[in-house]
Amino acid sequence: MSDVISASGLTMRFPGCRALDGVDLQVPSGTVFALLGENGAGKTTLIRILTGFLRASGGTCRVLGYDPLREAMAIRRRVGYVSDAPPLYDWMQVGEIGWFASAFYPPGFLERYRDLLRRYELSEVVKIRRLSKGQFAKVALALALASDPELLILDEPTSGLDPLVRRAFLESMVDRAAVGKTVLLSSHQITEVERVADHVAFLREGRFCLIRSLSELKETVRLVTISLADPLTVLPPLDGAVQVLSQESSGRQRRWVVMGFPESLQRSLAVHPGVIGVQARPATLDELFTACARPRGKAPETSSCEVPTA
Amino acid sequence: MNRSVALRHLCWKEARQVLPLIWMQLFLGLFFQFLVLFQRFGTFTPRLLLFAGMPSLFALGVGALLVAQEREQRTLDWLRWLPVSAVDIWRVKLGVALLALAGVWCVNLGLLALFWLPSGQALRSAAWLGTGGWEYVWPLQSVYFLLAGFATAWYFRSTLIALLALLPIAILPGLLGSLWLTLGQRFSWVRPAGVAFEPGVTAALTVVLAAVFLALGWRGARKALGPEAMPTRRRAWQIGSLASGDDAPLWTQPPYEPTSMLVWQFVRQNQRVLQWLGVLLLAALVLHHAHELSLVLILLATSWLGVLSFQGDTLQERIGFLAERGVSPTRVWWTRHAVPLSLLAVHQVLFLLLLPKPLLQDAGFQDAGFAPRLSVALVLLSVVGLLFVYGASQAVGWAIRSATIAAIVAPVLAGGFAAYGLLLFQDFGTPPEVLVLLGMLPWLLTWGWMRRWMDHRLGWGFWSPVAGVLVLVIVGPLLPLGWDMARQPGMPVELRQQLLEEVSASRGAIEAQELRITYRPREESLLQVPGEERRTAVCHRSELADALERFEQALLADTRPLRFDKATLRILLAEISLARMAWERQPDSEEMGQRYGRAMGLLGTLIERWRGSDRLIDQDGADLGEMGLVHELSGSDAERRLGRELYGRLVQLVGDQAGRNAARRRALLISWADYRAGFRRGRSETLPLGGHSWRGQSAAMLYAANPYIRRRAADYLTWRMLERLEHPEHSRDASRIRELAHYWQRPALYYGLGPGGHYFRADDPQQLTQPSFALPGTQSPRLSPGGQWHAGWERRGRELSDAWGEGRGRITRTNGAI
């Protein structure tokens, strides 16, 4: 499976801050790749670099085999992009803007656009400035999808959409991936990402702290809850192979989000003096997101976030 | 909520918003004040106009900035949702604008003092602007502009439309005042005797109209800040279109080609503004009789069309739509210009096809023979001028995101740069092709950086070229001049020292005098020339004889060297020719013979006196005199007519090459030394060199006013003249002749180079037959500095002298050939 997006050592410095700090990324073709991170993590900066709207301070990247800096036009013609604040001509009607945009794409755009409008139940005669936030988002999505691009880059695409449309949209993302198209999705809607994403990447303070396929994450990441007789009980150091992503203490309970937590370790912890019981279950993506988003000051005893591997 | 705190914060917000406009007019004020430094009219009027004009400019734009722009950007919607009353919002906006206007007046007063006081120029030349009541009208008018600007901004959503609507409103007091004046001329009761008319009436009308627009502005604000209501009554055309049945929607039709689509988008997006600008251009056509107003309207419309080309897409970053879809920046660029330029082209064609003859007649060009050529020149000039204004304005609209600031700055900056271009052309000698190249830079800037602009990547990579172009346009034209100035050759130091010592030794104590043949015609001698109002003097023989008599006596009485006078030489040569012809008709007449001999002797004396002068121009005049002498002495029977003594004296005079060259050298060096000594800042432009007017080899004012460069150029020129004097072969060296002609700012033709050069340099004996050597005007071609040195007439002079010395007889002339 070839990579649709590949980036190596991407760095972006703004006055007073480092938005991206040596980011490596490979997005395989025919997948839904979710980009997660808290506000200000660098997601939009990364997307703007990939689409050629920003020049990286360092590193290289290629999108669909093109250099975003030198061949941005070629990328934009083949990529469907919905930014976090899409600029639309508010004086145009909904139908007009699709008709206008169809001039810049191969035939079939207008028919697909109008079909999407019908599915989203949007009137073609309303001016864009009269649309609600959700309707505005639908129009932006329809414009991006109508060109049937090889790669779809979506920055908070479902913000403002009603649940029905959101579900339909997410299902369409899965369908796209199934026919070999690629979706790069940046979102805060963790539950939605969990439903559709094939790969997940967590971005924190300009660096990826975790890149894994969703299935692998579900298999390896556990939420471990340890009940203690005494809150001051000291637990034994963990095996180096176990990586604690976050830990939380609440009274006589310790809650860890860990990667690679074998049952043998669970059993040995359970019999440790002062430990009443140990429960482990697969962590949700939301819990994993929270664990990755915590500042390093609250990092667990043994290790920090894992450096992503291919 | 604390109301006073809320109002304070509102004031702060409005003040922050108005700051860019204040900076803009400060920058423009400084720019134009510097530009006025170069103007040579020496009056105070431009500075006073700037002082009064800049605050008015601010007042015209502040309403659009604080209201219309907020409406366009939808930030006013957010303001409405705050718990602040509409009255407070309106009051704060207006209050801050008025305070800012007062501040701008103070700043301009400071600028005026800064630039005017050191010059010491008197105020009286601009009295009508600054006294007699007008000094109160200007501030009052600026307040009126401000209130009217607010009113249009509350009513129109678009910034450009609000400014366009303001134009006719701004001139309303003036129009009504003119109407009052007209009525007053017809009906005396309208204009009471003894009333100070113009400023008082204008002020009164301004106050009344200001109150009207204040009320209208409040009404508009109340509507804009209140709940939005959908129109319940349809306009007639809407009813009509509904009744006729709507056409199929656009999106059911096949899409246009990308270029056509972009043009469609531009037109639809800006159709209102385009309509208003079309009206403005039409008004310029209709009002063509009022040249200045028509020109202002055309320039304003052209400038705003330029601003519109990119401003429409700047709003709310709409251009991002095209950027995100990978639309070609080049295609976007020229589709932004297609419609405005087409509109301008149509207007120009109409203007120049329909109105050339009446326009030219109104402008005073009555001669039908000149009209076709001037029309072509007019077409070219107007096209180039409009493209320049449009080009500068589109760059302003592209670089400045705020529509209000761009709309205010663009016409002023474009006009300022046009004036700067004219200054460069007239006073700095910048070649027009350089100016055309510089005029293309704003076009190249927007085209070259279009993608960056579309992607909104506005960092150093964007602003550096903008700054670079600005610097290049201002400084670039001066660079070739600066380079020439830096490379100006001079004279070797040792040679200069040596020559200055020679001058000290050879300078005489006696100064040359001014003496010329004059005659005062009697009243009955004045002839009424048919078709002309003036009367022309007719010189009678007796009057000329009297004049010559007086002149001769004056010469005898004062033996000092003389300053050359063209008219004197012309009269004397004419007298010689007439006397000879009269004698040829009456060969036995003793009187005729005496007359001829006397005139020739007088000429010889004049030449000797001119040779004694220490000015170069007197030597050149003496050359002309000697050329006339050679012509006469070459004639048959010259010796017989003149007598041996006089003939011998004259042939020796024209044959004395060494003496002639010595006199020339002396005069050249003393002229040069006097020029160096008399060179002072402020006099450099008009200081002659040896009596010849000389501004240096460049007409550029910067060059002419630079004492260092002028001195070096004078040194170099003198050096080259000396070489020419000492080496006769240099007179045939084309490159040296061209250099000399270039330095003296004379055509090389005057030095005999090129076809027809033989008419100006007396190499050919045939040319000596023409009695008149001087043409009307300050420059006589044959009087070019050193133009006759080593010409053929000197050789003939030597031949005459040699023949006389050897006693071989005279060289005769037959049929004009020697």
Query: DSSP string of B355-383?
Result: SHHHHHHHTT---TTTHHHHHHHHHHHHH
At B81 the three-state DSSP class reads helix
What percentage of chain B carries pLDDT values higher than 70?
Answer: 79
At A53 the three-state DSSP class reads coil
Q: What is the CA radius of gyration of chain A?
A: 22
pLDDT for residue B254: 85
Mean predicted confidence (pLDDT) in A242-255: 85
| Amino acid at residue number A214 | L
Q: Are residues A196 and A51 in the same domain?
A: yes
- For residue B306 the two structure tokens come to 């330029």
The nearest alpha carbon in chain A to B254 belongs to: A99
List, as ranges, residues 230-289 from A with C-beta within 8 Å of B. none
Q: Are residues B103 and B138 in the same domain?
A: yes
Tell me how close the Cα of A116 comes to any Cα of chain B, in angstroms: 14
Tell me how close the Cα of A3 comes to any Cα of chain B, in angstroms: 22
pTM over 0.90: no
Structural domains in chain B (count): 3
Determine which of B8-17, B754-763, B794-803 has the lowest per-residue pLDDT on average: B754-763
Determine which of B348-362, B368-382, B665-679 has the lowest per-residue pLDDT on average: B368-382
Q: Are residues B192 and B265 in the same domain?
A: no
| A141-152 tens-digit pLDDT | 899 999 999 999
Q: Are residues A287 and A227 in the same domain?
A: yes
Q: Are residues B409 and B508 in the same domain?
A: no
Q: Are residues B397 and B502 in the same domain?
A: no
Nearest to A95 among B251, B260, B328 (CB): B251
Q: Are residues B187 and B334 in the same domain?
A: no
Q: Are residues A227 and A79 in the same domain?
A: no
Residue B814 lies in a domain: no
Nearest to B255 among A83, A93, A103 (CB): A103
- For residue B211 the two structure tokens come to 């109150």
- Which of A144-153, A229-238, B755-764, B807-816 is the most confident on average? A144-153
Q: Are residues A179 and A250 in the same domain?
A: no
Check residues A237 and B698 and name the one with the higher pLDDT: A237
Which among A218, A200, A197 has a CA at the least distance from the CA of A209? A200
Residue A182's DSSP bridge partners are A151
Pairwise CA distance, residues B474 & B34, whole Å: 12
CA distances from A20 to A4, A212, B310, B452, B459 (A): 20, 19, 33, 22, 18
List, as ranges, residues 705-744 from B with C-beta within 8 Å of A. none
Residue B818 lies in a domain: no
Which among B319, B237, B322, B312 has a CA at the least distance from the CA of B274? B312
B4 CB contacts (<8 Å, ≥6 apart)? none
Mean predicted confidence (pLDDT) in B209-230: 85
Q: Are residues B195 and B272 in the same domain?
A: no
Which chain B positions have a beta carbon within 8 Å of A92's beta carbon? Answer: 268
B253 CB contacts (<8 Å, ≥6 apart)? A99
pLDDT for residue B768: 54
Pairwise CA distance, residues B532 & B285, whole Å: 38
- For residue B411 the two structure tokens come to 């016409």
Residue A244 lies in a domain: yes
Confidence of residue A126 (pLDDT cuts 50, 70, 90): very high
Determine which of A5-19, A33-47, B191-205 has the lowest per-residue pLDDT on average: B191-205
B231 CB contacts (<8 Å, ≥6 apart)? none
The nearest alpha carbon in chain A to B324 belongs to: A76
Q: Please check the confidence at residue A305 and state whether its pLDDT lies above 70.
A: no
What region, left, alpha or beta, does residue A201 occupy, with left being phi > 0 and alpha being psi -120 to 50 degrees? beta
Residue B137 burial (10 A CB sphere; 0-12, 13-18, 19+)? buried
CA distances from A16 to A54, A191, A295, A297 (A): 17, 34, 19, 22
CA distances from B119 to B37, B122, B317, B730, B798 (A): 10, 9, 48, 48, 59
| B621-640 tens-digit pLDDT | 999 899 888 888 888 788 88
What percentage of chain A carries pLDDT values higher than 70?
Answer: 94
Residue A148 lies in a domain: yes
Tell me how close the Cα of A185 comes to any Cα of chain B, in angstroms: 17
| Amino acid at residue number A14 | F
Residue B244 lies in a domain: no
Write down how long chain B is. 818
Mean predicted confidence (pLDDT) in B448-456: 91
Stretch (H or E) spanning A11? strand A3-14
Pairwise CA distance, residues A268 & B784, whole Å: 116
Q: Are A33 and A186 a contacting pair, CB within 8 Å? A: no
pLDDT for residue B813: 41
Domain end among B487, B503, B528: B487
Q: Please check the confidence at residue B82 and state whether its pLDDT lies above 80.
A: no
User: Do the Cβ atoms of B261 and A125 come within 8 Å?
Assistant: no
- For residue B159 the two structure tokens come to 């910034």
Residue A8's CATH number: 3.40.50.300
Residue A76 lies in a domain: yes
Determine which of B436-445, B459-468, B645-654, B751-760 has the lowest per-residue pLDDT on average: B751-760
Confidence of residue A296 (pLDDT cuts 50, 70, 90): very low
Mean predicted confidence (pLDDT) in A93-120: 90
Q: Are B462 and B434 a contacting pair, CB within 8 Å? A: no
- For residue B254 the two structure tokens come to 């096949």
B684 Cα distance to chain centroid:
20
- For residue B713 the two structure tokens come to 């150029």
Q: Residue A20 phi/psi, 5° resolution?
A: -130, 140
Check residues B199 and B619 and name the one with the higher pLDDT: B619
Q: Are residues B512 and B469 in the same domain?
A: no
What percentage of chain B carries pLDDT values higher than 90?
Answer: 27
Q: Are A13 and A175 a contacting pair, CB within 8 Å? A: no
Residue A97 lies in a domain: no
pLDDT for residue B37: 67
Q: Please check the confidence at residue A173 and state whether its pLDDT lies above 90.
A: no
Mean predicted confidence (pLDDT) in A119-134: 90
Residue B154 lies in a domain: yes
- For residue B98 the two structure tokens come to 């008025």
At B773 the three-state DSSP class reads coil
H-type alpha helices, B315-427: 319-324, 329-354, 356-362, 371-399, 403-427
Tell me how close the Cα of B259 comes to any Cα of chain A, in angstroms: 9
Determine which of A90-99, B40-49, B278-287, B603-612 has the lowest per-residue pLDDT on average: B40-49
Q: Please check the confidence at residue B146 and state whether its pLDDT lies above 70.
A: yes
pLDDT for residue A239: 72
User: Do the Cβ atoms of B255 and A91 come within 8 Å?
Assistant: no
Nearest to B261 among A52, A88, A103 (CB): A103
| B154-192 tens-digit pLDDT | 998 788 888 888 888 988 888 787 777 777 766 655 555
Q: Which domain holds residue A148?
A: 3-87+142-205
Euclidean distance between the first and the last CA atom of chain A, given in angstroms as a whole number: 13
Q: Residue B686 phi/psi, 5° resolution?
A: -105, 0
Residue with tokens 């293309």: B440
Domain end among A158, A175, A205: A205
Q: Are A260 and A241 a contacting pair, CB within 8 Å? A: yes
Q: Are residues A201 and A225 in the same domain?
A: no
User: Do the Cβ atoms of A110 and B251 come within 8 Å?
Assistant: yes
Q: Are B760 and B749 a contacting pair, CB within 8 Å? A: yes
At B424 the three-state DSSP class reads helix
B677 CB contacts (<8 Å, ≥6 apart)? none
Nearest to A100 among B261, B317, B324 (CB): B261
Domain end among A179, A205, A231: A205
Q: Please check the confidence at residue A197 and state whether its pLDDT lies above 60.
A: yes
User: Do the Cβ atoms of A104 and B326 come within 8 Å?
Assistant: yes
Q: Which domain holds residue B352?
A: 258-487
Pairwise CA distance, residues B454 & A153, whole Å: 19
Is A19 near chain B, with CB under 8 Å? Answer: no
Q: Please check the confidence at residue B357 and state whether its pLDDT lies above 90.
A: no
Residue A216 lies in a domain: no
Q: Torsion angle of alpha carbons B2, B5, B6, B9, nearest 10°?
A: -160
User: Do the Cβ atoms of B316 and A125 come within 8 Å?
Assistant: no
Q: Are residues A64 and A167 in the same domain?
A: yes
Residue B22 lies in a domain: yes
Q: Are residues B786 and B677 in the same domain?
A: yes
At B265 the three-state DSSP class reads helix
Q: Please check the confidence at residue B107 and state whether its pLDDT lies above 90.
A: no
The nearest alpha carbon in chain A to B317 belongs to: A87
Confidence of residue B356 (pLDDT cuts 50, 70, 90): low
pLDDT for residue A302: 41
Q: Pairing relation of β-strands A199-204 and A32-37?
A: parallel
Q: Pairing relation of β-strands A58-63 and A3-14?
A: antiparallel
Which chain B positions have a beta carbon within 8 Å of A83's beta carbon? Answer: 320, 324
Nearest to B328 among A73, A87, A102 (CB): A73
User: Do the Cβ atoms of B326 and A75 come within 8 Å?
Assistant: yes
Stretch (H or E) spanning A207? strand A207-213
Residue A18's DSSP bridge partners are A13
Residue A106 lies in a domain: no
Pairwise CA distance, residues A234 & A228, whole Å: 10
Which among B691, B697, B690, B685 has a CA at the least distance from the CA of B673? B690
Q: Please check the confidence at residue A204 and state whether its pLDDT lies above 90.
A: no
Which chain B positions have a beta carbon within 8 Å of A55's beta carbon? Answer: 457
Confidence of residue B215 (pLDDT cuts 50, 70, 90): very high
Pairwise CA distance, residues B632 & B63, whole Å: 83
Which among B439, B414, B357, B412 has a CA at the least distance from the CA of B21? B412
pLDDT for residue B110: 83
The nearest alpha carbon in chain B to A79 belongs to: B325
User: Do the Cβ atoms of B258 and A95 come within 8 Å?
Assistant: no
Nearest to A91 among B261, B269, B327 (CB): B269
Residue B222 lies in a domain: yes
Q: Are residues B10 and B135 in the same domain?
A: yes
Residue B108 lies in a domain: yes
Which among B209, B216, B199 has a CA at the least distance from the CA of B169? B209
Residue A102 lies in a domain: no
What region, left, alpha or beta, does residue B545 occupy, with left being phi > 0 and alpha being psi -120 to 50 degrees? alpha
Pairwise CA distance, residues B610 & B517, whole Å: 15
Burial B769-783 (b: 16+ CB within 10 A, else e): eeeebbeeeeebbbb
Mean predicted confidence (pLDDT) in B348-374: 58
Confidence of residue A308 (pLDDT cuts 50, 70, 90): very low
CA distances from B417 to A103, B41, B389, B442 (A): 40, 19, 8, 12
Mean predicted confidence (pLDDT) in B349-378: 59
Q: Are residues B450 and B597 in the same domain?
A: no
B647 Cα distance to chain centroid:
55
> What are the strands, taking DSSP E only, across A149-206?
151-155, 182-186, 199-204
Check residues B779 and B472 and name the one with the higher pLDDT: B472
Mean predicted confidence (pLDDT) in A27-40: 89
| A1-32 tens-digit pLDDT | 588 999 999 999 888 888 898 999 999 999 99
- For residue B731 the two structure tokens come to 């007179």
Q: Are residues B514 and B483 in the same domain?
A: no
Q: Are residues A27 and A51 in the same domain?
A: yes
Residue A239's CATH number: 3.30.70
Q: Are A23 and A131 a contacting pair, CB within 8 Å? A: no
Q: Are residues B223 and B272 in the same domain?
A: no
Q: Are residues A162 and A252 in the same domain?
A: no
Is A206 near chain B, with CB under 8 Å? Answer: no
Pairwise CA distance, residues B446 & B465, whole Å: 10
Residue B524 lies in a domain: no
Query: What is this model's ipTM?
Result: 0.73
Pairwise CA distance, residues B162 & B153, whole Å: 5
At A158 the three-state DSSP class reads coil
Residue A309 lies in a domain: no
Structural domains in chain A (count): 2
Pairwise CA distance, residues B327 & B322, whole Å: 5
Domain end among B471, B487, B503: B487
